[in-house]
């Protein structure tokens, strides 16, 4: 029996992880569940899965959950704040961590799990984008097992050489090919993109995801963040990472070898596949996913991404090439911009504009430690908030 901590249990990945766990009660136990402030959903999960611990990042929400569980005579203990998240990520009883908290809040608990030598199922992009060098070093020093859960990186992991190499060439790999759905606006002109609403951006054609990642998919920033992730996960240079638009989301990613072979992982667009792969690794376990019907799909399309209409992808490549804290700045500015867009405070096309300005305004520095990255993250968020306070005319002048 493996004890599993799910960071972000009320989100899409968390819910799908619980679905897979429920299919294998003899193998997995939901030891701890955590969320930001969704009291009602976490309360219901506690009644169903009876975890040892429940954690809410928001302390007031944690107090509300504690009272509800007490009234229900539940034995689940309630913790709060970042300290609570780090505890359930590193506790001796825990075997597996599903790191699915969205945003920078997922960094510290993921680091705690790495230092404690846990098996980490990484679904939080920001951990590698913000602190790739620090996190990968913590994984190495702590003896942790790192399994990527993003469908693209999980696909690459599945078709990479079994043995790890210092660089891709030593393993016979020429390049990594990340596939992107293209999002809901793949065929929109620049004029049409000016008319994009929040409601339209939240309607992804293939995947069911949280609001932030769905908007990132629409801007192609999601793919940009995955480029940075791929660099750290597979020790790949920017030149060894190619992005192709694949609207069907059936080929989840590919690896090209020096002999001309291209190996791909295919499947229906269902996150339970990579989740089950991570939970069962190195075995394969039932995920509840329908078989892929290639006859029904019939056609697979591949296109080159348009970075003129979707500049966020190029901004991510630029940040990766700059190195240092540039990716931290990119991530922080994007989080602020997307949050403002979801609140209808800025336009869809303002998102890359804000990120570009932040990268230009804040110099990239060599990464020193976690405190340094936290300071840079705060600096970038303050800059982004100040940018949002400008009038639209002033924003244009700063372009």
CATH of the domain at 64: 3.40.50.720
Q: Note the pLDDT of residue 355.
A: 97
- Is residue 262 helix, strand or coil? strand
Give the model's pLDDT for residue 211: 85
Residue where a domain terminates, one of 225, 254, 269: 269
Q: Are residues 7 and 115 in the same domain?
A: yes
* Other beta carbons within 10 Å of 258: 12
Chosen domain end from 100, 131, 149: 149
71 and 160 assigned to the same domain: no
Q: Assess if residue 100 is contained within a domain.
A: yes
**Which pLDDT score, from 0 to 100, does residue 397 have?**
47
In a domain, 283, yes or no: no
Q: Which two tokens stand for residue 303?
A: 């296109």
Task: Give the pLDDT of residue 390.
Answer: 78
Three-state DSSP at 37 gives: coil
pLDDT values of the chain reduced to their tens digit, one per residue, 399 residues? 999 999 999 999 999 999 999 999 999 999 999 999 899 999 999 999 999 999 999 999 999 999 999 999 999 999 999 999 999 999 999 999 999 998 778 899 999 999 999 999 999 888 999 899 999 999 999 999 999 999 999 999 999 987 777 788 888 999 999 999 998 899 999 999 999 988 988 877 666 677 888 899 999 999 999 999 999 999 999 999 999 999 999 999 999 999 999 999 999 999 999 999 999 999 999 999 999 999 999 899 999 999 999 999 999 999 999 999 999 999 999 999 999 999 999 999 999 999 999 999 999 999 989 999 999 999 999 999 999 997 665 555 454
Kindly state whether residue 342 falls inside one of the protein's structural domains: yes
DSSP string computed for 155-222? HHHHHS-SS--SSGGGGTEEEEEEEE---TTTT--HHHHTT--HHHHT--SS----HHHHHHHHHTHH
Residues 141 and 179 in one domain: no
41 occurs within a structural domain = yes
Asked if residue 21 and residue 133 are part of one domain, the reply reads yes
Residue entry with tokens 């979707």: 310
How much is the pLDDT for 126?
83
Contact 254/180 with Cβ under 8 angstroms? no
> Based on the structure, what is the number of domains in the chain?
3
Is residue 306 one of the residues assigned to a domain? no
CA–CA separation, 65 vs 142, rounded Å? 33
Whether 222 is in a domain gets the answer: yes
Query: Quick one: 230 and 345 in the same domain?
Result: no
Do residues 133 and 199 share a domain?
Answer: no
Per the structure, the complete domain to which residue 162 belongs is given by: 156-269
What is residue 391's predicted lDDT score, i.e. its pLDDT? Answer: 63
Sheet holding 241-245, edge to edge: 241-245, 173-180, 251-257, 262-266
Side-chain half-sphere CA neighbours of 62 within 13 A: 21
Instruction: Evaluate whether residue 289 is within a structural domain.
Output: no
Same domain assignment for residues 349 and 376: yes
Whether residue 297 is contained in a domain is answered as: no
User: What CATH number should be reported for the domain holding residue 347?
Assistant: 1.10.1740.10
Coil, strand or helix at 390: coil
Same domain assignment for residues 82 and 30: yes
Alpha helices in 298-369 (DSSP H): 312-322, 326-342, 350-361
Shared domain for 142 and 219, answered yes or no, is no
127 and 67 share a domain?
yes
Q: Is residue 141 domain-shared with residue 209, that is, in the same domain? A: no
What is the residue whose two structure tokens read 């990464």?
Answer: 367
**Structural domain ending residue among the three candidates 91, 120, 149:** 149
Same domain, 242 and 212: yes
Residue 331's nearest CA partner among 355, 307, 314 is 355
């Amino acid at each position: 029996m493996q004890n599993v901590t799910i960071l972000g249990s009320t989100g899409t990945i968390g819910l799908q992880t619980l679905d897979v766990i429920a299919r294998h009660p003899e193998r997995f136990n939901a030891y701890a569940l955590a969320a930001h402030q969704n009291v009602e959903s976490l309360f219901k999960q506690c009644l169903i899965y009876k975890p040892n611990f429940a954690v809410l990042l928001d302390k007031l929400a944690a107090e509300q959950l504690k009272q509800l569980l007490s009234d229900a005579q539940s034995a689940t203990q309630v913790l709060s704040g970042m300290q609570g998240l780090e505890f359930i990520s590193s506790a001796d009883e825990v075997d597996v961590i599903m790191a699915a908290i969205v945003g920078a809040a997922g960094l510290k608990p993921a680091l705690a799990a790495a230092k404690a030598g846990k098996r980490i199922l990484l679904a939080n992009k920001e951990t590698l984008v913000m602190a790739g060098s620090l996190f990968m070093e913590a994984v190495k020093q702590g003896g942790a097992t790192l399994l990527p859960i993003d469908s693209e990186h999980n696909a690459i992991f599945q078709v990479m050489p079994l043995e790890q190499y210092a660089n891709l060439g030593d393993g016979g790999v020429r390049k990594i090919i990340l596939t992107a759905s293209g999002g809901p606006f793949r065929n929109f002109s620049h004029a049409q993109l000016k008319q994009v609403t929040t409601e339209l951006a939240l309607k992804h054609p293939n995947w069911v995801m949280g609001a932030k990642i769905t908007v990132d998919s629409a801007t192609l920033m999601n793919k940009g963040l995955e480029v940075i992730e791929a660099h750290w996960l597979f020790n790949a240079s920017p030149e060894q990472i190619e992005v192709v638009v694949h609207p069907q989301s059936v080929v989840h990613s590919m690896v090209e070898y020096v002999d001309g072979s291209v190996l791909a992982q295919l499947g229906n667009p269902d996150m339970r596949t990579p989740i089950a792969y991570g939970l069962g690794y190195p075995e394969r376990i039932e995920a509840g996913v329908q078989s892929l019907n290639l006859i029904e799909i019939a056609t697979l399309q591949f296109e080159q991404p348009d970075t003129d209409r979707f500049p966020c992808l190029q901004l991510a490549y630029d940040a990766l090439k700059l190195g240092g804290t540039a990716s931290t700045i990119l991530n922080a500015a994007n989080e602020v911009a997307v949050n403002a867009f979801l609140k209808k405070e800025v336009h869809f096309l303002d998102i890359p504009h804000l990120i570009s300005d932040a990268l230009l305004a804040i110099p990239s520095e060599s990464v020193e430690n976690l405190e340094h990255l936290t300071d840079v993250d705060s600096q970038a968020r303050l800059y982004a908030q100040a940018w949002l306070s400008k009038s639209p005319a002033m924003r244009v002048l700063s372009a």
